[in-house]
Amino acid sequence: MRTKLNILSLLIVLCIILTSITGCSNSKDTGGTGSETAAQNETKAGSSTEAEKTEHEEDVYPENGLPKDPITLKVGFFEGGYGRAYYDYAKDTFTQKFPNVKIETVYSPKIDTVVQARIAANNVDEMFDLAPLYWSTYGINKQIEPLNDLYERELYDTPGVKVKDILMDGAWDTRGEIDGNVYTFPTNMWVGGLFYDKALFKEHGWNEDPKTFDEFKRLCEDIKAKGITPITFSGMYNYLAFSVGWNKLYEIAEINGYIDEFTQKYEYDLEYIPLGSKEMLESWSKLFELGKAGYFSEGLASLNHTQSQMLAIQHKAAMVSSADWIDNEMKDSVEPGFEWGYMALPFINDPNQTIYLIGDFATQFGIWAAKPDINKKWAKEFMLWFLNKDVQMKQVEWAGALPVRKDIASDESKMASIRPGQKNLLTYLGTHKTKIVSGNRRVTPKTGPSAQQAYKLYTDGLVKVAEGKGDPEVLLKEIYELQKKGIEEGKQDSQ
């Protein structure tokens, strides 16, 4: 036993000696000490890390940290009054900057129908990454991606400047928000109102700037006396809402002295139902007064927006309810030199009070939440790209849209290229006490099918009231009850 232990001890001692010799031999062979060898090893390790870091940096874009791997974004684009040229410019310049990104676009004036079909198919791969997904419809069910982080991003073409700091005043106030999640991101601005042929008004000496409801009624009477219908709009698509919509509820509240209370209630109170409110009744009562006097076109329900706008161009109607895209949308239907004038339909009778206009800092896209994270990240980058100065200017020059960046809107040299109709709109805004509201609420109740019926009755009811054929109080009572039922249905579905 002792012999075995002695042999084991000798073996251990021998191993220690051999290890020491090997260590010394290595130090001698490298021409340095053991500590120098460790330093060299650290240097090698550091060089390897730097190489890996450089290789990683080459694989991602420094502007956004996203990988250069090939990716395809599917986009559904609404081809309406603004056209598509500005969008194509944004798409082309974006993919030139980021050549790994391919953008497949479906263009349609009825893109919502295409979107609904793809949602019904329940195929995430075929669903659009970006499409006109209305925030209150899809945000309530968390089907679209929140965009809060985009407001904190720096602009691609103006490093150091964040989105939230460059947007025009009021852009944040019109956001679409549910439970703290913001689902809208502005790419341009639009304002609704009444548009008319300035030459026609000048020819007849009509008042182009009625400052009160009484003055507006006198204008309508003057127009009607010449055998021309004062006002028209698309009843098919509820274009009256671009003049008399949610904005007039604010105006009535201010007229009656409780604007702050109303704003809080409208935007944050889930129990408040605008469709059956006293503000809506007063708004419809004023419309009914105009309707009974015969100031609106007949056959409104069958008019689409193009037909109603043509009535104004052909002087069969003097004014048409629309939004500022009318200038671009109808440019091929007017004679050279035609100029759109602009006015609001005021409900006030004190010129010192505020005229509320409907408008928004438009969001062209929502991002489908079920898409892979990398798709959603690139989709956000594409949305951010629309705030580049060159893209903003293409929206101004080619689409007839108003810019959303205040550094462009305040630059006279850049704004010189806007269309005459938009200049007249901006002049109106600059010479009147106005406020633009979107009608967006900060809280949105879940609703059932009865709410859809209520909204249908609301749009049909507007036409009846404008034609002087529907009692506002009777119509709104029915609409209110249906909307209330729809909210109860939504509560039951949530349980």
Handedness of CA 330, 340, 360, 441 (dihedral sign): negative
Tell me what pLDDT residue 495 has: 66
On whether the CB atoms of residues 406 and 158 are closer than 8 A, the answer is no
Question: If you average pLDDT over residues 249-258, what whole number do you get?
Answer: 97
- Tokens 């601005």 belong to residue: 189
Tell me what pLDDT residue 57 has: 61
Residue 446 to residue 398: CA distance in whole angstroms: 39
Supply the CATH classification number for the domain 71-187+363-410. Answer: 3.40.190.10
Tell me what pLDDT residue 18 has: 31
Q: What values do phi and psi take at 357, rounded to 5?
A: -110, 150
pLDDT in tens, 416-453: 888 889 889 989 988 999 999 988 888 778 889 999 99
Strands 71-78 and 101-108: parallel
Question: If you average pLDDT over residues 197-212, what whole number do you get?
Answer: 98
| Structure token pair of residue 89 | 């410019």
Q: What one-character DSSP code corresponds to residue 395?
A: I
Categorize the per-residue pLDDT at 31 as very low, low, confident or very high, splitting at 50, 70 and 90: very low
Question: If you average pLDDT over residues 30-49, what whole number do you get?
Answer: 47
Residue 406 to residue 167: CA distance in whole angstroms: 6
Residue 179 to residue 139: CA distance in whole angstroms: 10
Q: Which residue has the higher pLDDT, 307 or 23?
A: 307
Strands 181-182 and 177-178: antiparallel
On whether the CB atoms of residues 366 and 438 are closer than 8 A, the answer is no
**Is pLDDT above 60 for 29?**
no
**Is pLDDT above 60 for 101?**
yes
Burial class (CB in 10 A: 0-12, 13-18, 19+), 53: exposed
- The count of other CB atoms within 10 Å of the CB of residue 207 is 14
- Tokens 């939230």 belong to residue: 164
Residue 47 to residue 24: CA distance in whole angstroms: 27
Chain mean position to CA 88: 18
Tell me what pLDDT residue 119 has: 94
From the list 362, 404, 366, 369, the residue with the least C-alpha distance to 387 is: 404
Question: If you average pLDDT over residues 251-269, what whole number do you get?
Answer: 95
**Is pLDDT above 90 for 25?**
no
Residue 46 to residue 473: CA distance in whole angstroms: 79
**Partners of 467 in beta bridges:** none
Residue 221 to residue 318: CA distance in whole angstroms: 12
**Partners of 75 in beta bridges:** 105, 130
358 three-class SS: strand
On whether the CB atoms of residues 358 and 345 are closer than 8 A, the answer is no
pLDDT in tens, 342-355: 999 999 999 999 99
Tell me what pLDDT residue 402 has: 86
Strands 317-323 and 229-232: parallel
Within 50-134, strands assigned E span 71-78, 101-108, 130-131
On whether the CB atoms of residues 283 and 475 are closer than 8 A, the answer is no
Strand order across the 71-78 sheet: 101-108, 71-78, 130-131, 366-367
The alpha carbons of the chain give a radius of gyration, in whole angstroms, of: 32
**Is pLDDT above 80 for 38?**
no
pLDDT in tens, 381-411: 999 999 999 999 999 999 888 899 999 988 8
Look up residue 492 and give its amino acid.
Answer: Q
Residue 255 to residue 212: CA distance in whole angstroms: 12
From the list 257, 344, 256, 301, the residue with the least C-alpha distance to 466 is: 301
Q: What's the topology of domain 190-360+438-494? A: D-Maltodextrin-Binding Protein; domain 2 (3.40.190)
**Partners of 229 in beta bridges:** 317
Tell me what pLDDT residue 34 has: 43
Integer angstrom CA distances of residue 82 from 108, 149, 324, 356, 426: 12, 27, 10, 24, 18
Residue 271 to residue 268: CA distance in whole angstroms: 9
Q: How many residues does the chain have?
A: 495
**Partners of 402 in beta bridges:** 189
Residues of the chain with CATH 3.40.190.10: 71-187+363-410, 190-360+438-494
